[in-house]
Amino acid sequence: MAAEYVVVALGPVDADTVTPVLGERVTFVTDPTPDDLAVAEGAIVRADRHVDADLLARMPRLRVIARTGVGVDLVDVTAASARGIPVVVTPNAGSRAVAEGVFAMALHLTKRLNPLTELVREGRWAERVGLPIGDLDGATMGIVGYGRIGRRVGELAAVFGMRTLAYDPFSPPPSDVACADLDELVAAGDVLTLHTPLTEGTRHLVDEHLLARVKPGAILVNCGRGGLLDLDATLAALETGRLSGVGLDVFDPEPALYHPLFDHPNVVLTPHLMGMTRRAMTLTFVDAARGVADVLAGRPPAAVADPDYHLRKATA
């Protein structure tokens, strides 16, 4: 059967994974030329690639954009929607991997793995009693943003014997875990983890005023969006002991620009990779390809960035 559609990759995409999902009617181009863009009806887009009005203008036949992940900061969703192009997202693929990343950081900081490694490496065994290590069992996990990832963090917290509290500025969590406000959550949480979307209202949600109300000795983990956190205020909270550890997988901007916080011994850093495990990336590519295939076949995609897309389609 001859191919009917051209789908292009914008950024590195595993062709062996997506080609079987797209089907025989699709030619998948991993390194598109301007001519490929001009005839492409679908695009699978990595998180660090811009899709702006200029690029859209160079893709006049485009019918669907599939973003690997959920963040669409670099995609002009408004311009795409104006042309009737759905921006497919893949919210389920990396949720479990990110939640595991939260616990990797929380355990690393609670169990003091960096300084304890240095004791052994430098032959300072006798000093080990001066570095008390903490417990997750019996501690309280404070989750800011109770969507797919936040809920998965809560599930893992229960396995560790933790109490879970949650606050979500957009959708109230269930009553058994809900906090009335953010102040209540940060005052009670031994580990605080951020998973709310970045909006004008949530930028620098964690600032010096909020950190002043944090439970002394708390650990703060951000695997959500870099802009949720004021790094200057976070460093000050570490230096005063208000925070005992910080784990960051996300930054603003990315790639991360150096900040003195990065040098603090009770900080662990990863380059926005906690949701990009081998299994999660395979699932993300599959979900993105499935979204493209659905739109090209006239089926509604499972998840889109524009909440009004399905309504417009239904009334078209």
Q: How would residue 1 be classed by pLDDT, with cut points 50, 70 and 90?
A: low
Query: Which pLDDT value is given to residue 3?
Result: 72
The domain ranges of the chain are 5-92+278-315, 95-269
pLDDT in tens, 91-150: 889 999 999 999 999 999 999 999 999 999 999 999 999 999 999 999 999 999 999 999
How confident is the model over 197-218, as a mean pLDDT? 96
- For position 306, what pLDDT does the model report? 85
276-288 residue pLDDT tens? 999 999 999 999 9
User: Taking the CB of residue 120, how many other CB atoms lie within 10 A of it?
Assistant: 10
Q: Which amino acid appears at position 156 of this protein? A: L
pTM listed for this prediction = 0.87
Q: Which numeric CATH code is attached to 5-92+278-315?
A: 3.40.50.720
Catalytic residue among 225, 239, 279, 290: 225
Structure tokens at 195: 């998973």
Active site residue 290: no
Catalytic (active site) residue 254: yes
Rounded mean pLDDT, 64-81: 92
Domain 95-269 fold: Rossmann fold (3.40.50)
**Catalytic hit among 63, 151, 272, 290:** 272
* DSSP track, 48-71: T--B-HHHHHT-TT--EEEESSS-
| Dihedral angle over CA of 288, 39, 310, 151, nearest 10 | 20
Same CATH topology for 5-92+278-315 and 95-269: the answer is yes
Please give the distance of CA 113 from its chain centroid, rounded to a whole number.
24
pLDDT band at 215 (very low <50, low <70, confident <90, very high): very high
Q: Do residues 248 and 270 touch, judged by C-beta distance below 8 A? A: yes
Reported confidence tier of residue 315, pLDDT bands at 50, 70, 90 = low
pLDDT level of residue 310 (50, 70, 90 thresholds): low
Beta bridge mates, 229: 206
Alpha carbon dihedral 157, 136, 198, 56, in 10-degree steps, equals: -60
Q: Average model confidence (pLDDT) for the chain? A: 94
